[in-house]
Structure 1
Amino acid sequence: MLNDDLLRPTVSPLSRRQMLLQAGNGFGYLALAGLLGQQAQAATAGAVAGGVTAPAPGYASPLAAKQPHFPARAKRVIFLFMQGAPSHLDTFDYKPKLATLSGPAGGKGKLLPSPFKFKQHGKSGHWISELFPNVAQQADKLCMLHGMHTDNPAHPQATIQLHTGSVNFVRPSVGAWVLYGLGTQNENLPGYITINPPTGLGGAQNFGSAFLPATFQGTRIDATDRNIADIRNNFLTGTQQRKQLDLIQQMNRDLLRKSGPNEQLDGVIESYELGFRMQGAVPKLMDISDEKPETLAMYGADSGMTQTFGRQCLLARRFAEAGVRFIEVCFQGWDQHQALKAKLTQNCGSTDKPIAALLTDLEQRGLLKDTLVIWGGEFGRTPSGQNGDGRNHNNRGYTMWMAGGGVKGGTSWGATDETGGTAVENKTHVHDLHATTLALLGLDHEKLTFKYAGRNFRLTDVYGNVVKQIMA
């Protein structure tokens, strides 16, 4: 949501709310676009329905496409965030010792063997649980990160660190840094979209821009099993809307000339322009009725328990294909302190088919080679049981995986100990994950900085090592 105080230039005689009121009801959708996230695209400041006018003198979009620091392996990211921390021990980190060593575990409970069968798949021989039969068929595309660890075993802190790199301070999200570093690929769409993000656990902080210009924050979409409503303004023609917007933008640019560089006002200008253009692009892009029945069936987007997440994964592919730089899809509900067998079966049953379809679809369309797909939660689960059939939080060792986008498919990096409780080999911290993600996009995490409060900040703070061993 826009904050009037943050967006109001210090020399402005009008507040944003006053400008919106003067613009009339026809400007309502443009405000909505701002509320959705202030994502501006690489467009000049005078886009007109059916054409583009000359940019305003001296104005350049802060979201114009930029060159990476070095040749990139990936152009975009799709992050499949499994909020709640899925159990690595029951999905992708096979630990047969749990069955043979079942007994006291540090005095805090008994080791809980996985109730699910594991099997090796593909030429890689990845051990994958029976919970993911469809993802298992994609085994040779996956790069397993078995040595993941993070700083805090609490959901809010770990979720925020996974998304921003920091536990203690408000920092820009990963997607905001990516957009800041690379700019946009489509002037009519947000460069950073988050689908169904959690409302708690940091909320908007997980896709916010913090001290980066508001232009770079994520656009939130609460997509369920329905297509987005028609957001076009049906009361005014495109020409009439353009005239209204031109008046407001003239006022904004006058203020910009008077105030000098003003990132907040840049964000307002960009969000209004994007809102105008999105009216034509977004409804069509989010209307999946033009997809072939076999595509909908492949994603499980047509019916059943896979329908909601299947549609979201399909939207992620459509957004990626249309040029969105960073896309996150969140599936919530993996915090299984009890009834793990039943709940994990349900969660995996809802996500397995859509995830496998996304990888297949991206590959068939020639997009997987430059789309980095990341799967995982904020931490893992304990080898010891809890509440009978359940597992507690574990930040000391867990699994995430990557696919496409320049990583070596069919490989593994890192390992946990024999019971899966602690990362012991080639450990990968969240800072390392961020550094590696940026490197695959052609960005040096030590050079991607923004000066704030007198010093240069970066996503990885003073930490992070690129895991070059997983790069193709």
Structure 2
Amino acid sequence: MSLPDRRHALFTFANGFGLLGLAGVLADATSASGRDAVSAATDPLAVRPPHYAAKAKRVIFLFMSGGPSHVDLFDSKPKLKEFAGKPLPFEQPKLVRTKTVNLLPSPFKFAKHGQSGADVSELFPNLAKRVDDLCILRGMYADNINHNGACLQMNTGEQAFSRPSLGSWLLYGLGTENRNLPGFVVITPSQPAQGAPLWSNSFLPAAYQGTLVSNLNKPIENLADAGTDTTQQRRELDALGRLNALYQKGRENDTLLAARIASFELAFRMQKEAPEAFGIDGESKATKALYGVGDPATDIFGKQCLMARRLVERGVRMVQVYHTQTAKRSSCQLWDQHGGLRSELPANCLATDKPIAGLLEDLKARGLLKDTLVVWGGEFGRTPTAEGTDGREHQPFGFTMWMAGAGVKGGLTYGSTDDFGWHATENKVHVHDLHATILHLMGLDHEKLTFRHAGRDYRLTDVSGRVVKEVLA
């Protein structure tokens, strides 16, 4: 294979895996070569100290795309049974998509679990056993009633415009511990409707964009270069790096150019470490069974969660795991039950319950949960009123999320909605507050983590947000 062909093969791998925006992943300075094309002084992924001592080193965000129904999963509302079929006894907010009037009690049973006695739906029998690890936020609220804006806000803090994602901000603030793997990975078999903007770097340097994994059986395309050995490939990359370095002179502020140059180095390094990091074949039968791998109902999300554990174990800063596909259905927004509540919601819970519980158990057994923050939730919740006879509408005014692991109080239920589950009423937590708290747990002050763009300083939490200190251990 000629040098141009080998260069093209490595470029194809880097491009196919989304690495052309991952600048600054450099080799150890063993020689004056292409590995120094982007100098250490401009290395955007170098590990940086946090603003203060961090409780968490890494984040796994389990994103249930579509909006899981809080009143059917974690927020039991007996009043819904008392008022079943009757109109909501107060005026709905002006911001509604469709005027759903009659109250719909949950068709699923709730029970109290763990020493904390938290209410959990029968749809999450495995997760219920881990409830004392969870810090359940029942007073969440957001600002947008539609999927696009709400997903953007939950992932980037902004509803309409392109802004850097949570993972991008974490990389910008802290860098990455493993120089041979991406620092921010997104695992989703079917991309959410909003797509790449949910893990975009936006105006942050190109190094901080998320790396997408969509093929769980073959997460890394074009990885091997069968045409040459690594020694020869190293020489070729060094020569290419020197040429790129000459071209880069006078273009030091071009972060996309720097990203493209450095992506070749990351691609080369990943050839050694990535197959082992992303591959789950070497896991024991017991571990695979813990996550539900091999069971048709749980295999897809089980593989996603197991891959997430393997990546954070190897120093990846943030892994975002989207639930967008089950064995029987592929959809951008699986949790969007405008209809089929009695059949689709149990199917979604069946697909995710065992993998999530397995992830928490596995992290804890390996000593990783103490410094790994796990976050669960969607872009909003669902109305306590019925849409048709078997559905619920979008609900940003009050819903549930949970966190577990590093620095949060396990077994705590914080906040509440009204008697019907419509409005967050007590200990409310806005999306900006959630982001501020996640950054705080990672050792970052959300008011100090800023980036100058278009004449002003931007931050993940815009001009608001508070750290929810009441949930901190």
TM-score for the superposition, normalised by structure 1 = 0.91
CA contact (8 A) 2:47 2:177 kept: yes
- Alignment counterpart, residue 298 of structure 2, candidates 296, 303, 306: 306
| Residues 152-182 of structure 1: CA deviation (Å, up to 9, x unaligned) | 1100110111111101211111000000100
CA contact (8 A) 1:42 1:184 kept: no
1:82-93 equivalent positions in 2, closer than 5 A: 82-93=64-75
Partners of 1:199 and 1:55 lie apart in 2 by 34
CA contact (8 A) 1:225 1:311 kept: no
Aligned to 1:27: 8
1:56 aligns with 2:36: yes
User: Which amino acid is 2:340 matched to?
Assistant: A
| Residues 330-379 of structure 1: CA deviation (Å, up to 9, x unaligned) | 00211011110110111000100000000000000000010000000000
Aligned to 1:410: 411
Alpha-carbon offset, residue 230 of structure 1: 6.8
Aligned to 2:269: 277
Partners of 1:392 and 1:45 lie apart in 2 by 51
1:73-472 equivalent positions in 2, closer than 5 A: 73-102=55-84, 103-105=86-88, 108-196=100-188, 199-224=191-216, 231-332=223-324, 333-472=334-473
CA-based RMSD:
2.1
User: Which amino acid is 2:50 matched to?
Assistant: P
CA contact (8 A) 1:64 1:183 kept: yes
Alpha-carbon offset, residue 427 of structure 1: 1.0
Partners of 1:47 and 1:96 lie apart in 2 by 64
| Residues 212-263 of structure 1: CA deviation (Å, up to 9, x unaligned) | 1111100000143566567211122212322332232212222333223432
| Residues 270-314 of structure 1: CA deviation (Å, up to 9, x unaligned) | 222111111121112222121111111111012221011101100
CA contact (8 A) 2:34 2:238 kept: no
Partners of 1:411 and 1:42 lie apart in 2 by 41
Aligned to 1:251, what secondary structure does the other structure show? Answer: helix
Partners of 2:49 and 2:56 lie apart in 1 by 13
Partners of 1:462 and 1:22 lie apart in 2 by 51
TM-score for the superposition, normalised by structure 2 = 0.91
Partners of 1:47 and 1:33 lie apart in 2 by 22
1:38-57 equivalent positions in 2, closer than 5 A: 38=19, 40=22, 43-45=25-27, 56=36
Partners of 2:469 and 2:260 lie apart in 1 by 39
User: Which amino acid is 2:66 matched to?
Assistant: G
Partners of 1:287 and 1:197 lie apart in 2 by 16
Partners of 1:55 and 1:236 lie apart in 2 by 19
Task: Pick closer, same or farther for the CA change 1:274–1:194 going to 2, 3 Å.
Answer: same
Alpha-carbon offset, residue 43 of structure 1: 4.3
Alpha-carbon offset, residue 22 of structure 1: 7.9
Task: Pick closer, same or farther for the CA change 1:419–1:42 going to 2, 3 Å.
Answer: same
Task: Pick closer, same or farther for the CA change 1:424–1:250 going to 2, 3 Å.
Answer: same
Larger displacement relative to structure 2 (74-83 or 275-284): 275-284
Alpha-carbon offset, residue 202 of structure 1: 2.3
User: Which amino acid is 1:104 matched to?
Assistant: P
CA contact (8 A) 2:24 2:259 kept: no
CA contact (8 A) 1:40 1:187 kept: no
Aligned to 2:95: none
Alpha-carbon offset, residue 266 of structure 1: 2.2
Task: Pick closer, same or farther for the CA change 1:264–1:57 going to 2, 3 Å.
Answer: closer
Identity of aligned residues (%): 49
Alpha-carbon offset, residue 35 of structure 1: 4.2
Partners of 1:188 and 1:208 lie apart in 2 by 21
Aligned to 1:469, what secondary structure does the other structure show? Answer: helix
Aligned to 2:383, what secondary structure does the other structure show? Answer: strand
Aligned to 1:68, what secondary structure does the other structure show? Answer: coil
Question: How many residue pairs align between the two structures?
Answer: 450
Task: Pick closer, same or farther for the CA change 1:274–1:151 going to 2, 3 Å.
Answer: same
Larger displacement relative to structure 2 (38-47 or 243-252): 38-47
Larger displacement relative to structure 2 (344-353 or 108-117): 108-117
Task: Pick closer, same or farther for the CA change 1:410–1:371 going to 2, 3 Å.
Answer: same
User: Which amino acid is 1:439 matched to?
Assistant: H
User: Which amino acid is 2:447 matched to?
Assistant: E
Aligned to 1:391, what secondary structure does the other structure show? Answer: coil
Task: Pick closer, same or farther for the CA change 1:468–1:52 going to 2, 3 Å.
Answer: farther
Aligned to 2:139, what secondary structure does the other structure show? Answer: strand
Partners of 1:140 and 1:397 lie apart in 2 by 23
